[in-house]
Amino acid sequence: MESTVTTEPAEKRQAPPRPGYGQLLRTRGAWTFLVPGFAARQPFAMLTISIVLLVRHTTGSYGAAGAAAAVTGVSMALCAPYGGRLADRYGQRAVLLPGVVVHAVAALGLTALALSHAPLWALFAAAVPTGASVPQVGPMVRARWGVRLQGSPLMSTAAAFESVTDELTFVVGPLLATALCTTVTPSAGLVTEALLTLVGGLLFAAQRGTQPSVDAHAADEHARVPHTSALRVPGVRVLIVTFLGIGAVFGGMQVSLAAFTESIGEPGLNGVLYGVFAAGNMLSGFVCGAIAWRASPRRRLAVGYAGLALTASALWTAHSLPLLAGLGLLVGVCIAPALITGYTLVESLVPAGARTEAFTWLTGAVALGQAAAVTVAGQLEDRLWGGAGFLVPMAGTVPALATLLLLRSRLVPRPLNRTVARGVGHRAPVAVD
């Protein structure tokens, strides 16, 4: 009797069911930082499209609108990693409090300049601090999960949940900004973005009990991987290139959908088409985050990104609303696996002390790709035929796919890093950034 009891359930004990989202969300104190954190994450998704729609309205040029948004995106991409380092060193609250105030003031200043028909150089000057001060709340939320779930099997579920939340941010932000700009006033998107950043950021910073201890984190970083930069990890550089391509899809879609719906005399359909794209993104994100995959993250990234490049390459051929909506849905479905798998690979490639920086490099890469895409797509829409901006997602994803396939061996953790990553991710009580 004892032999049957110990041998038959052994396999089940070796492969326990993965903890679900419901169990994760019942973690004590989780909602105190999740709700304000979600509001404070919206700037990344709302900012570009809000600037494009506002500046396009005041100047009449998608090229000028894309250039202004690009300055913001470049500033965000360059400053995001340093914001992550400052949060690691001085604490999240110390970085967030001044940061959200600066961002709100800069965004409202940019709005006022655009509405007063200020010259383009003035818009660029205001766009720099607007982008540079975007709070990096996503990596901060990941770090707080690490504080709440030290050594818990829920850590892998939390990583998936955060990737899904990023997807939901990409869905809600642009939809909200587009709806406000097209139905209320062209400046409503940027004003709302500034207010969400200020209120959400202040409420998030007020949750002192869930933020990582600065002293403990610094001691752990010094003991494990002193003076290590995430950029020194080869796999991170490969992921940066792939995320640049994802940013090109977001930027190219935002500008080109707006131009397409305006060209057919139905600007209100911009939100509908982007909603279809976003719905595929969100649905795919929830499914990917809930599945306990058997395929390795490296293989999933290659397959998912190949699907993204293929569908994005077909966008420029769509000349009707139904076809464009169908292709947009497929592109959205393919984006989520690539993003989620990319963030998952960071957990195994990067030591804990450099993980916050790694996450901000990836979010910065999306912002940079988005900035370049809105600039190029805006110029193509102004100078070539309507819908030429849809070439940009193809131009961004195809080279990124080639880079990913050629350098995919760099996405395998090195032996030394593999031990650290597994310990941090599943056993050792260390805060995950």
DSSP class per residue in 253-297: HHHHHHHHHHHTT-TTHHHHHHHHHHHHHHHHHHHHHH----S-H
Tokens of 343: 């963030």
Mean pLDDT value across residues 388-399: 89
For 126-152, write each residue's pLDDT tens digit: 999 999 888 888 878 877 887 777 767
- Whole-angstrom Cα distance, residue 144 to residue 93? 12
Instruction: Classify 186 as helix, strand or coil.
Output: coil
Query: Who has greater pLDDT, 36 or 428?
Result: 36
**pLDDT tens, position by position, 186-242:** 999 999 999 999 998 899 888 887 777 765 444 444 444 454 677 778 888 899 999
- Residue-wise DSSP of 342-368: HHHHHHHHS-GGGHHHHHHHHHHHHHH
Q: pLDDT value at position 427?
A: 35
Higher pLDDT, 155 or 362: 362
Helical pair 234-263 and 62-90, crossing angle rounded to 10 deg: 150
* 82 Cβ contact list (under 8 Å, min separation 6): none
- Say how many C-beta atoms besides its own lie within 10 A of residue 107's C-beta: 31
Please tell me the CATH superfamily of domain 31-427, with its number.
MFS general substrate transporter like domains (1.20.1250.20)
- State the Cα–Cα distance between residues 410 and 233, nearest whole angstrom: 9
pLDDT for residue 102:
94
Interatomic CA distance for residues 130 and 197, integer angstroms:
11
pLDDT tens, position by position, 269-328: 777 787 788 778 878 877 776 776 777 888 888 998 999 999 999 888 877 788 888 888
pLDDT band, very low/low/confident/very high, at 15 (cuts 50, 70, 90) = very low
CB 34 within 8 A of CB 166: no
Would you say residue 178 has pLDDT above 80? yes
Q: CB-based burial of residue 319 (10 Å sphere; 0-12 exposed, 13-18 middle, 19+ buried)?
A: exposed
Helices (H), 184-268: 188-205, 214-224, 234-263
Task: Find the mean pLDDT for residues 28-38.
Answer: 85
Q: Which two tokens stand for residue 257?
A: 């959908």
Helix, coil or strand: residue 30 = helix
Tokens of 231: 């950029």
Computed over every residue of the chain, the mean pLDDT equals 79
Q: Cα–Cα distance between 349 and 230 in angstroms, integer? A: 9
When pLDDT is cut at 50, 70 and 90, the band that residue 4 belongs to is very low
Question: Which of the two residues, 167 and 104, has the higher pLDDT score?
Answer: 104
pLDDT of residue 89: 76
Gap between the Cα atoms of 259 and 276, Å rounded: 17
CA 390, 81, 245: angle at the middle one, nearest 5? 20
The continuous run of DSSP H or E covering 112 comes out as: helix 92-115
What pLDDT sits at residue 116? 93
Summarised one tens digit per residue, pLDDT across range 404-419 is 999 988 888 765 444 3
Residue-by-residue DSSP string for 304-346: HHHHHHHHHHTGGG--SHHHHHHHHHHHHHHHHHHHHHHHHHH
